[in-house]
């Protein structure tokens, strides 16, 4: 089991941050909170440490990692070209849940980038993450701190549950605010393309750069500009997840219960719970997308921990506000695994 140090999310204790820096300098892995999900961090310029991140996650080597910096100049230092769009987004939205894909500078180890020519960079808006990068004095490569294709962690306990001793130290800063990963935008070409919808809405991006387009990140989509590492199955609980239209939620749950499986239901607040079949674990999430997103992974972790075998989740509206949540639910429900 890893060591876990509790840190105040607003004012992280300098001694605990210094201990995390010591572990990173020694080539170790430190999980830390960000405003989106917990990251599994290693020194970005230490290829051996970065390789340990891939091993700890069981992640294929060609899936690039995000490099975390504290501000725009840190991102710029990793890029061979820093386009105007990168400046606009970074100035307005960093630190924040936005990842920019830019051309990689030759000095950035290729292993971090999954061997590719680009690099994803972001400045996270979490005091613990910022304090850690700042105290280390170097960028930190960090994917979400979960096993490959499994649920992302929004608490330190989620990290420990999945990664155990594969991580050396976990900084526990409490639950993550956004609860869903950053929005990934490729700014290498015009117009900028959203590769992964996330905590920053497309409307917020378009308010800055109206030309932003959505990439084909649909689960079946397979586009030249799709993000490497965007497998159909991803963000998945252990339980089998099925998406249902609002009207079909109860009948699907009932059918699964009758077939003898332990069923969990994830519905939005608008749905009346009276009709829930007996024995079904019902989790009610907000009818508002941001609040729903904050609790989604936590809820799926809970249902997994309760030993549920089938999760029926009510489909969410097909509106812009719900794009990121809908993407994660569809990937969690996708049955085909790829490697
Ligand atoms: O919110 C987040 O982004 C969290 C926190 C820890 O920062 N990190 C995260 O990392 O979600 P990860 O590795 O689980 O997901 C990063 C995704 C990859 O799956 C891939 O789709 C995309 O970002 N990505 C990373 N590098 C890329 C690159 N060079 N080109 C295109 N897409 C890239
Ligand atoms: Mg991830």
Q: Whose CA is nearest to atom 29 of ligand 1?
A: 119
Residue 195 burial (CB count, 10 A): 24
Give Cβ neighbours of residue 18 (< 8 Å, ≥ 6 apart): 135
Rounded to an integer, the average pLDDT of 254-281 is 85
pLDDT of the residue at 235: 86
pLDDT at 221: 44
Would the pLDDT of 323 be above 60? yes
For the Cβ of 65 lying below 6 angstroms from any atom of ligand 1, the answer is yes
Q: Does 200 or 277 have the greater pLDDT score?
A: 200
Which residues are in the CB-under-5-Å shell of ion ligand 2?
Answer: 144
Read out DSSP for 266-286? EEETTS-GGGPPTT-EEEEE-
pLDDT for res 275: 66
pLDDT in tens, 114-144: 999 999 999 999 999 999 999 999 999 999 9
Average pLDDT for residues 13-19, to the nearest whole number?
Answer: 97
In 3D space, the residue among 12, 6, 34 whose CA is nearest the CA of residue 125 turns out to be 34
- Assess whether pLDDT exceeds 80 at residue 248: yes
Give the mean pLDDT of 301-330. Answer: 96
Report the pLDDT value the prediction gives residue 108, as an integer from 0 to 100: 98
Q: Whose CA is nearest to atom 10 of ligand 1?
A: 143
> What is the reported pLDDT for 279?
82
183 to 5, 51, 199, 322, 325: CA distances (angstroms): 29, 25, 6, 13, 12
The 10s digit of each residue's pLDDT in 53-102 is 999 999 999 999 999 999 999 999 999 999 999 999 999 999 999 999 99
Confidence of residue 336 (pLDDT cuts 50, 70, 90): very low
Best residue for ligand 1 mutational test, from 97, 143, 188, 338 (most atoms within 8 Å of Cβ): 143
> Is residue 25's pLDDT more than 90?
yes
């Amino acid at each position: 089991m890893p060591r876990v140090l509790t840190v105040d999310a607003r004012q992280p204790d300098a001694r605990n941050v210094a201990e995390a820096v010591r572990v990173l300098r020694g080539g170790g892995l430190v999980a830390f909170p960000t405003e989106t999900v917990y990251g599994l961090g290693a020194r970005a310029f230490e290829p051996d440490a970065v390789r340990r991140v891939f091993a700890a996650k069981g992640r294929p080597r060609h899936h690039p990692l995000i490099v975390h910096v504290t501000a725009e100049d840190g991102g710029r230092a990793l890029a061979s070209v820093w386009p105007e769009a990168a400046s606009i987004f970074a100035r307005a939205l960093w630190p924040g849940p936005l990842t920019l894909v830019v051309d990689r500078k030759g000095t950035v180890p290729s292993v971090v980038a999954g061997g590719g020519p680009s690099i994803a960079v972001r400045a996270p808006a979490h005091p613990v993450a910022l304090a850690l990068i700042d105290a280390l004095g170097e960028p930190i490569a960090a994917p979400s701190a979960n096993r490959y294709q499994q649920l992302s962690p929004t608490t330190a306990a989620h990290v420990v549950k999945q990664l155990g001793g594969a991580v050396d130290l976990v900084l526990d800063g409490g639950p993550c605010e956004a609860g869903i990963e950053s929005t990934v935008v490729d700014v290498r070409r015009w117009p900028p393309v959203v590769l992964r919808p996330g905590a920053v809405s497309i409307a917020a991006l378009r308010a800055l750069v109206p030309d932003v387009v959505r990439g084909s990140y649909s689960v079946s989509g397979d586009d030249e500009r799709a993000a490497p590492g965007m497998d159909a199955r991803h963000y998945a609980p252990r339980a089998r997840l099925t998406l249902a239209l609002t009207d079909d939620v109860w009948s699907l749950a009932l059918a699964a219960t009758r077939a003898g499986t332990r069923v969990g239901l994830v519905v939005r607040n608008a749905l009346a719970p009276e009709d829930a079949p007996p024995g079904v674990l019902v989790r009610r999430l907000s009818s508002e997308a941001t609040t729903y997103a904050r609790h989604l992974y936590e809820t799926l972790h809970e249902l997994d921990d309760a030993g549920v075998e089938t999760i029926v989740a009510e489909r969410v509206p097909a509106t812009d506000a719900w794009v990121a949540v809908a993407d994660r639910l569809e990937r969690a429900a996708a049955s085909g695994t790829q490697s």
